[in-house]
């Protein structure tokens, strides 16, 4: 590919990581971490060894969603990932900072260097699918991260309030530059299901995600509703207990890629 091989970092020799899937978004707050978490939960339920690398250094949400807020330990061989209750391996900057309410005010190169270390120094072990919750946007930081990790495919998360076509266009161009396939789109906060009658309400108007996907020749992997129970599960560190099956088909598509 066109990815400059010299920039790619080698993972720890104890690791055997088969697929690396990066989850990106145009900006923060669209639910990229939510989708990363649910993807990992669905993949793990299929019986695959699953892990999450939280590369969203300035807005880490993985530890909270899974309730793994303890600090990471390390030995001379590397850093141990934090294991969730259903045995998903995770690593986030919040597991390393002494005080996880401290804001991360690092500059781009330090952020990218930290993500690279999560790849090189964490003892992930044997992993079928490693999901990477990327820094938001298509700027310098995500670009540098992409150049240092051997990403097999990209999933783009959008929400209906965004200029979806522009974001998808940028993500597709970034992926092309690095010769990484875009596996598909996930639309988050797509609709609301009425708790009384079950009717789907298009809160932000009719979804354009299918048209945009067609325009760029990529798949829609799934659509997630706005669900207050989902937000609560995340806040309580109970995302693994949440029964939402919106991404089951999506992970099955990844399986055959």
Would you tell me which residues interact with ligand ADP (CB under 6 A)? Answer: 25, 28-34, 59, 61, 188-189, 224, 226-227, 230-231, 234
Q: Is 115 annotated for ligand binding?
A: no
Residue 149 near residue 115 (C-beta atoms within 8 A):
yes
Backbone φ and ψ for 235, nearest 5 degrees, come out as -60, -30
Q: Which is nearer to ligand ADP, 180 or 224 (CB)?
A: 224
Q: Is 27 annotated for ligand binding?
A: yes
Q: Which is nearer to ligand ADP, 11 or 43 (CB)?
A: 43
Q: Which is nearer to ligand ADP, 92 or 188 (CB)?
A: 188
Residue 188 beta carbon to ligand ADP: minimum distance, rounded to whole angstroms: 5
Residue 84 beta carbon to ligand ADP: minimum distance, rounded to whole angstroms: 16
Residue 41 is encoded by which pair of tokens? Answer: 């939960």
Helix (H) or strand (E) segment spanning residue 141:
helix 140-148
Residue 32 beta carbon to ligand ADP: minimum distance, rounded to whole angstroms: 3
Nearest-angstrom CA–CA distance, 200 and 53: 33
Residue 63 beta carbon to ligand ADP: minimum distance, rounded to whole angstroms: 12
Residue 207 beta carbon to ligand ADP: minimum distance, rounded to whole angstroms: 14
Residue 24 near residue 135 (C-beta atoms within 8 A):
no
CB atoms within 10 A of CB 180: 21
Nearest-angstrom CA–CA distance, 206 and 190: 9
Nearest-angstrom CA–CA distance, 245 and 187: 14
Q: Is 29 annotated for ligand binding?
A: yes
For residue 14, the 8-state DSSP code is: T
Residue 10 is encoded by which pair of tokens? Answer: 């080698």
Q: Which is nearer to ligand ADP, 79 or 224 (CB)?
A: 224
Nearest-angstrom CA–CA distance, 222 and 3: 29
Nearest-angstrom CA–CA distance, 140 and 169: 17
Distances (CA, A) of 164 to 142, 188, 211: 19, 12, 10
Q: Which is nearer to ligand ADP, 61 or 148 (CB)?
A: 61
Q: Which is nearer to ligand ADP, 7 or 232 (CB)?
A: 232
Q: Is 222 annotated for ligand binding?
A: no
Residue 54 beta carbon to ligand ADP: minimum distance, rounded to whole angstroms: 10
Nearest-angstrom CA–CA distance, 143 and 126: 26
Q: Is 252 annotated for ligand binding?
A: no
Q: Is 28 annotated for ligand binding?
A: yes
State the binding site for ATP.
Answer: 26-33
State the binding site.
Answer: 26-33
């Amino acid at each position: 590919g066109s990815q400059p091989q010299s920039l790619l970092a080698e993972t720890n020799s104890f690791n055997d990581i088969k697929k690396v899937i990066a989850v990106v978004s145009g900006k923060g707050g669209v639910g990229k971490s939510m989708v990363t978490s649910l993807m990992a939960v669905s993949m793990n339920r299929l019986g695959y060894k699953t892990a999450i690398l939280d590369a969203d250094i300035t807005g880490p949400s993985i530890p909270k969603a899974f309730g793994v807020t303890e600090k990471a330990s390390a030995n001379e061989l590397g850093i141990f990932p934090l294991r969730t209750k259903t045995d998903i391996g995770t690593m986030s900057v919040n597991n390393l900072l002494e005080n996880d309410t401290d804001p991360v005010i690092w500059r781009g190169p330090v952020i990218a260097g930290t993500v690279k270390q999560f790849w090189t120094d964490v003892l992930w072990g044997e992993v079928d699918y490693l999901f990477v919750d990327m820094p938001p946007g298509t700027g310098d930081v995500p670009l540098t991260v992409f150049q240092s990790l051997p990403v097999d495919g990209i999933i783009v998360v959008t929400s209906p309030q965004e200029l979806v076509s522009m974001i998808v266009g940028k993500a597709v161009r970034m992926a092309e530059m690095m010769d990484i396939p875009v596996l598909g789109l996930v639309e988050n906060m797509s609709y609301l299901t009425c708790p009384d009658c079950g009717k789907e309400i298009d809160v932000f108007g009719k979804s354009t995600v299918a048209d945009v996907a067609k325009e760029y020749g990529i798949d829609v992997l799934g659509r997630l509703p706005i669900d207050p129970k989902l937000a609560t599960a995340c806040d309580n560190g109970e995302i693994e207990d949440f029964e939402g099956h919106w991404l089951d088909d999506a992970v099955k598509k990844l399986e055959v890629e």
